[in-house]
Structure 1
Amino acid sequence: MLDGIIDGIKEFFFEMFKGSTESFLNMITELFQKSVDTVQTNVSETPTEFSQTIVDNLRVISDTAILPVAGLILTYVFCYELYQLVVEKNRGGDFETGQLMFLIIKTSAMIYLLTNAFDITLAVFDLGKWITDQVPSSALKIPDSIKDNLLNSMEEGDVGAAISMWFV
C-alpha cells in the first residue's frame, strides 16, 4: 500500500515535469521560429526597401565625395605606372605599345568599376535578397524529432532526467 502511494506520487511529479517540459519545449520552439522568421524578413530587405532617402543620400555622398577622391587616386596610379613604363624601357627608346594598351585597358576597367561601384553594391544586396528568398521556410524549422526524442527518453520514468532538464 505504501509502495502504491509512493508510485502515485512519483507518477504525479513525473507527469507534472513531463507536461511542463513539453510546454516549455513548445514555447521555445515557437519563440525560435518567430525569431527566425523575423530575421529572414529583415535580412531579405534591400536598402531601397529599408529607406529610400538613406540610399539617395548615400548615392549623393558617393558621387560627390568618394568618386572624386577615388578618381584622384586612380589618376595618380595611372601616371605613376606610365612613368615607370617609360623609365623602365630606356627613357622611351625601347617602348612597347602593347604594355601601354594594357595600362589603358586596365585603367578603363577601373574607371568603369568606380563609376558603377554604388550600383554594384546595391546589386549585391539584391542578390542577397534573392538568395534568402530561395531558402524554404521548412528548412529553418526545428525538427519535431528533437522534441519527440527528448520526451520519449523521459517516458521511461526517469524523474532525474526530467528534473535535470530544468537545471542544465
Structure 2
Amino acid sequence: MDFLINALTDWLKEMLVGGIMSNLSGMFDSVNQQVADISVQVGQTPQGWNGSIFNMIQNLSETIIIPIAGAILAFVMTLELIQLIVEKNNLHDVDTWMFFKWVFKSAAAILIVTNTWNIVMGVFDVAQSVVAQAAGIIGSDASIDISTVMADMETRLMEMDLGPLFGLWVQSLFIGITMWALYICIFIVIYGRMIEIYLVTSVAPIPMATMMGKEWGGMGQNYLRSLFALGFQAFLIIVCVAIYAVLVQGIATEDDIIMAIWTCVGYTVLLCFTLFKTGSLSKAVFQAH
C-alpha cells in the first residue's frame, strides 16, 4: 500500500514539477521582446514609423483640413480687424499703423497655416533627436534573466511536498497569464501613442489657423503644447525603461525562485503603470500655466 502511495506521490510530483518548469520556461520572453522594442518604436518619427499611414494623413490634412483651416483663418482675422477698429473709440481714433499690424498678423497666420505640416513634423524631429541621444546615454539591458535561478530548480522542486508544489503550479500559471496581459498593455501604450500622434497631426491646420487671433489664439497655443507633450512623452518612456532595466538587473541574484519571479512581475507592472502615466505627466509639464 505504501508503495502505491509513494508511486502516486512521485507521479504527481513529476507532473506538477513538469508543469511548473513548462510555465516558467520562456515566461518573460514576450515581455523582454516588447520592452526591447520600446526604444526602437518611440525613437521613430511619424514618417519613419509607418510611411503609408504618414502619407495618408498628410494627404488628408492637405486636401481636406487645410481648406477648412483657411475658412477659419478668414473668420479669425476678420474678427481681429473688427476688434482693432472698434477698440479705438468707435472709429474716432483710428491710426493707420493698426492696419499694418493687421496685415502683418494675417501674413504671419497664412504663413503658419501653409507650413503647418513642416512645423508639426519639426516638433517630432526635435523630440526624436532628444530621444536618440537619451537612448545612447542611458541604454542598458532591460531583459529579465532568471536562468541562473532556475539552474537547479527542478531538483529543489522534487524535494518539496505535494501541497506547496500545487501552490507553486497555480502561481506559475497565474504569473504566465499576467505576463501576457502586461505584454498587451505595453503594446497598447507604445502603438496607441503613435496612432494618437497621427490623429492629432491630421487636424493640425485648424488649431494653427487660430494662432494669431487675440481671443482664439489660445486654441493654437494649447495645440502646440499638446504636440510638444506627445513628442517628449517618448523621452519619459525611455527614462522609464532605463529605471526598469536597473531594477531587473538584480533579479538573478535571488535565491528564492518564486520570490524572484514575483519581483519580476512587480517591476513589470510598475513599468506598465508608469508608461500609462507618461502621457499625463508630459501634458502636465507642457501645459502648466
Go from structure 1 to structure 2 and tell me whether the alpha carbon gap of 1:75 and 1:160 turns closer, same or farther (over 3 Å shift).
same
1:1-168 alignment, distance < 5 Å? 2=2, 6=5, 9-10=8-9, 13-37=12-36, 41-42=40-41, 44-50=43-49, 52=51, 55-56=54-55, 58-95=57-94, 107=106, 109-126=108-125, 127-128=127-128, 131=131, 134=135, 136=139, 138-139=141-142, 141-142=143-144, 144=146, 157=160, 158-165=164-171, 168=174
Task: Tell me if structure 2 keeps the 8 A contact 1:67–1:114.
Answer: yes
1:25-76 CA-to-partner distances (Å, cap 9, x unmatched) read: 2222113323444565455444433554654554454344433331231122
Between 1 and 2, higher relative CO (CA 8 Å, sep ≥ 6) is seen in: 1
Go from structure 1 to structure 2 and tell me whether the alpha carbon gap of 1:9 and 1:121 turns closer, same or farther (over 3 Å shift).
farther
Structure 2 regions of 5+ residues with no counterpart? 175-289
1:82 offset after TM fit, Å?
Answer: 1.5
Structure 1 regions of 5+ residues with no counterpart? none
1:98 offset after TM fit, Å?
Answer: 8.2
Task: Tell me if structure 2 keeps the 8 A contact 1:46–1:129.
Answer: no
Letter of the aligned partner of 2:131 in structure 1? I
1:80 offset after TM fit, Å?
Answer: 0.9
Go from structure 1 to structure 2 and tell me whether the alpha carbon gap of 1:120 and 1:21 turns closer, same or farther (over 3 Å shift).
farther
Letter of the aligned partner of 1:144 in structure 2? I
1:130 offset after TM fit, Å?
Answer: 5.8
Separation in 1, partners of 2:45, 2:18: 43
Letter of the aligned partner of 2:17 in structure 1? K
Separation in 2, partners of 1:94, 1:11: 101
Given the two structures, how large is their TM-score scaled by the length of structure 1? 0.61
**CA root-mean-square deviation:** 4.3
Separation in 2, partners of 1:6, 1:93: 108
1:122 offset after TM fit, Å?
Answer: 2.6
Separation in 2, partners of 1:124, 1:160: 55
Q: Secondary structure of 1:27's match?
A: coil
Letter of the aligned partner of 2:168 in structure 1? A
Separation in 1, partners of 2:70, 2:101: 19
Letter of the aligned partner of 1:138 in structure 2? D
Go from structure 1 to structure 2 and tell me whether the alpha carbon gap of 1:11 and 1:117 turns closer, same or farther (over 3 Å shift).
farther
Highest Rg: 1 or 2? 1
Separation in 1, partners of 2:71, 2:55: 24
1:77 offset after TM fit, Å?
Answer: 0.8
Go from structure 1 to structure 2 and tell me whether the alpha carbon gap of 1:5 and 1:162 turns closer, same or farther (over 3 Å shift).
farther
Separation in 2, partners of 1:138, 1:68: 49
1:125 offset after TM fit, Å?
Answer: 4.3
Task: Tell me if structure 2 keeps the 8 A contact 1:29–1:142.
Answer: yes
Q: Report how many aligned residue pairs link the two structures.
A: 161
Separation in 2, partners of 1:54, 1:167: 39
Q: Secondary structure of 2:27's match?
A: helix
Q: Secondary structure of 1:49's match?
A: helix
Separation in 2, partners of 1:143, 1:110: 55
